[in-house]
Every structure is written in structure tokens, then in C-alpha cells.
Amino acid sequence: MNDGHGPNSTHLFESTVRQHQAMVFSLAYHFLQDAAAAEDVAQEVFVQLYRNFRSIQSPGHLRFWLRKVTVHRSLDELRRRPPQPISLEEVAEASTDPAPGDPWLSARLRRLVAALPPKPRMVVILRFQEDLELREIADTLEMPLNTVKSCLRRALAVLQAKLARSVGDVKV
Amino acid sequence: MRAFEDELRSALRRREPPAGFGNRILSRVEAEERKAVLRPRLFRNPAVRWLAAAAMACVLLIGVALERRAMERRLQAHRAAQEAILALRITRYELNHALDRAMRRGGRDPRQEGQIFSPKEQP
């Protein structure tokens, strides 16, 4: 994909950053629910990509590499932090993009996803942000396929149950 | 379930990073490049870096060995000096003892040693 570091590769790298920055930042942001930490993680990922640019063989390999490194960096970042109970009311909103569905429901769902344990949270994010197949999620997270399946099933059940409860609370 | 999954997709849609994100990455990358230029070209080769590290380790080990040897020599010299001082002390003791016996045989009181070689008695 790249024959070394030089002016041409810098331009190629720049266009790669512009093309994939939303994916990398969003993975980290949806996982960490902290815009500043997500930006740090995303920057680290792209600096690491620059160092390893020569080893990237194809656009598909690039996307896989970026997802994998972002996922692992985000998990590392979470491990480094002191444990903080995530309150459903405290999760920050970072983007000003207009949401296509119900904004209240979307915000509620993001908060519920943020309250999931790390691995199921990442499975849900990779599935619904990136639209990845279960096999791709298993490869990215280096988990057995059946574990990913059961993880996703349980996470969706938990999310649905909690959402139903919170919607019920609002209606009352 | 389908509607719920669509809501999740909508909630977890991609979002753009804060403004200036790309430029901040490029600045970091340029800073890395500058650092790489400052590093001599020779040392970019990992084999050369390993060799340099091995050479430095060898120099360090040789230095430690030489210093240890010098310290041993200093210790030996100190021990020899101590032994020489002890030998001189023994010699002085023996000489004093011999002198004492000789004076006793000559009927002189070794306690008046100071008078033996007084100017008056000298021939």
C-alpha cells in the first residue's frame, strides 16, 4: 500500500486519516463515552498506523487493522482508568450531528450501551456502528465466534429489558 | 427486534471527531518525522542498534573489570605496607630487647639508658 515515508506517503496518510477518522473516533467514543479520551485513543491509533504504514497491504486490511488497534487501545484505556460507576444520566453527549431517529431514545440507548461490561459493549458497537458480521467481530476481538454470538444475544436482551423499564418509568 | 436494532444503529452511528483532529495527528506525525531525521541514519537499522548496545555493554563490563583489578592492586599494596610496618615494629622490639640484654651483661642499668651514651662517659 505504501513504499515508505516521504511526501507522497504523507499525502496518502493524510487522505487515509480523513477517510477513516470518523470510524476510529466513533469506536473509541461509543466505547469510552468521553470525547477527549476518544480523541487521544484515535490519535494514538493513527500515529501507530503511520509507523506501520508499510505493512498495510490493502484497503480491507487497513480497515481491519484500524478497527482492531482502536478496539484494543480503547480496552487498554478503560483498564488504565480507575473504576467509575457509569450513571445513566451522566454520560456526555459529544456530537452536534442531528440524529436520524428519536433523539431521546438514541441518547438513552447510548447510555445503556455505555453501562454494559467492556467486551459485550464492544461487540454491540462493532455490530451496530460498523455493521460487522459476527465472524468479523470475532476476528477483531480475537474471541471465539460462539462467544461473540452469545455475548451479543445477552447484551441485546439486557438493553431491551433496561430500555423497556426506562420507557416505562417515563410513561409513569 | 428489527426496530430495536435499527434504533441501536441510529444511536451508534459514526460521528465526526472534533474540528482540527486530522491536523493534530499530522502535527504529531511531523514531530515524529523530525525526531527520526535527527537520529543518525545508521542507527535506524535495528541490527546496528543491537550491535551498538552490545558494544556499549562490552565497554561497560571491561571498565568494571579494570576498576576491580585496580582496586585489588590497591588492597594488595595496602596489605604489603601494613606487613612492612609490622616487620619494622618486630625488628625494633628485637633490637631493644638485644640492647637491654647487652647492657645487663655489662652491669649497666638499662633504666638509666639515657646515661649510657652520655657525653661524660664516652671515651
Interface test with B, best of A129, A160, A162, A166 (most B CBs within 10 A): A129
CB neighbour list of residue A160: distance below 8 Å, 6 or more residues apart: B4
The dotted CATH code for A1-84 is 1.10.1740.10
Could you read off the pLDDT of B99-109 as tens digits, one per residue?
999 988 887 76
- All CATH 1.10.1740.10 domain ranges of chain A, comma separated, are 1-84
Answer whether CATH 1.10.10.10 is correct for domain A99-172.
yes
With 50 as the cut, is the pLDDT of residue A96 above it? no
Predicted-complex ipTM score: 0.78
Question: Of A18, A38, A99, which has the smallest distance from its Cβ to B22's Cβ?
Answer: A18
A51 and B26 in contact (C-beta within 8 Å)? Answer: no
Average pLDDT for B42-56: 85
Residue A25: pLDDT band with limits 50, 70, 90: very high
Taking an 8 Å cut-off on Cβ atoms, the answer to whether B9 and A10 are in contact is: no
- All CATH 1.10.10.10 domain ranges of chain A, comma separated, are 99-172
Q: Which residues of B touch A94 (CB under 8 A)?
A: 15, 18
Could you read off the pLDDT of A158-170 as tens digits, one per residue?
999 998 887 765 4
> What does DSSP assign to residue A103?
H
Which residue carries 488497534 as its cell?
A69
A22 and B17 in contact (C-beta within 8 Å)? Answer: yes
Could you read off the pLDDT of B72-99 as tens digits, one per residue?
999 999 999 999 999 999 999 999 999 9
Taking an 8 Å cut-off on Cβ atoms, the answer to whether B33 and A97 are in contact is: no
**CA torsion angle B42 B47 B50 B55 (round to 10):** -70
